[in-house]
Structure 1
């Protein structure tokens, strides 16, 4: 049994019952047409409401923000109504749930964006990156992403407004707050990381310029729904979806400083999580802790003991668990009681129906 993971924590105006976060994970099961959340997704999240905080799968803020088939949106009345089923179910079980707001930028294909060319910081194609499209069968078909067009200043203003409206929509749908997806090679990450951004205007070049879009989006959402309802996820050292930064320690320490000025309620750092990935430098974690004064969440290859250690050392306040939450709806109880963890079926992660989503049982001694 671990102790610190089960201490309550204040997150803005919300008292969390523990420090275990259900990490955002794409499941690609939204109702079609319309990419609408539904009762099965409500059951899935409600089953996991013993987490201190649930962060939903990425939900796109616009039709052009979609990267993969069957992912939910939050920009139409039907989508807001669909998400309300989810938030009602989670709240009924005593849970706290934030919506992860998502724009994929260049990590897409016209088959997923209504025929439109994807947009990005720059007209740079992500190499060796594939997305899945609806190919008319139950099986998703993987295709290469296409070259995006570079966003104009007007495009940037429009997307900032789409994020602001999505935050309002999330509150209307009953969410306790939102997490801005600025990680894993998606749109905001395409502005931040030097190798994905070759702009020569105020959104490119220096670290300050490459962080400008992030700051404008966060500022718009904080103005709309309040800083105590806004979290941000960053992935400083990953190269997912082809985004790489030349100086990640400097860039992402500066990002933490910037986000601290907006007084967002939490900062969520996604560490590299493949098997032989290098550990995030401890000096970086300490620099982030000094730069950012709110709640710090880390995710990636954590088990109970490692999570406890991170909180003990003071570099983290909460720890997010991803794939282990897929197969263990009662994960906090299993951690607390030392029960064994079930393994997930990777074949049922994306798409399909209840199998691999709501049919994993709680532990039975």
Structure 2
């Protein structure tokens, strides 16, 4: 039996059990407030936490089947070559990161609207799989969700028809622009509703997850749109998808919102710990870089490596704003000799050398990839 296209609920919702939600809301808001306080205490958070933004791009893309690690993305950016299939996966991750950064810039001047969502989608789908399916345009045909190759008759979920979809999108845009009882609950509802509407031919999952930090910032919960949930959602992928499905199959918004709030609490704690660890590393490296390099460029070099923990010598020269190639190469040699950096690929002909900052990559990945 073919599933009929779903008809999304109108927002805002009625009938939520706010007493039950309050038990989940308090710890989630407290964890987010602590994370926001940590960000506020980091003077150059955009530089220090740049690797975390890259990791979010990797994890959110991986949920959709992309096979590329953070290290591969960073090494590709530094000039390492991979197979054609791997390059396509890496391009998807890099598009996601660019879209995140573009969105952060855009939010300084305008709120999240359907127009901004279309612009983000166009960037997300540029020159990647699905890029031929009208990037930046809402779908005009019926889509469905299931295993690859699954026909409509066997779909796990059928989003609303294009006609119903447009009205649901307008309702979602109005809902996002207004205020609900609580901003975190509003975020949970908005994220789920976007995934239910599934307005694009491809890229809906990644774009829906991208909306999470943007709306946290827009609603004033965070001072910067730098909160990423994909690590938890990847770990709990089955529960994540089942909770979304339960909304349309059983009207279980309550269960979804409680799941989402729990995810926010757990991930906020993790993000706080990781941000503190990265900040501690940065502060400990400032005197070490000065002592090892004896250079006026010590802090600039440190900032360059936090921005790009896998970097080639040419990009290091530019990012650290060093006016002499010999000076830059001397700094890199000093840092390698001291054990701060590791040479990944030596220079050969016109190919610049590639270096890795192991401690920072290990913290960001959450595992020891390069040894201590």
Same fold (TM over 0.5): no
TM range (shorter): under 0.3
The structure showing larger relative contact order (alpha-carbon pairs under 8 Å, at least 6 residues apart) is: 2
Structure that is richer in helix per residue: 2
Query: TM-score normalized by structure 1?
Result: 0.28
Query: TM-score normalized by structure 2?
Result: 0.28
Task: State the structure with more CA Rg.
Answer: 2
Structure that is richer in strand per residue: 1
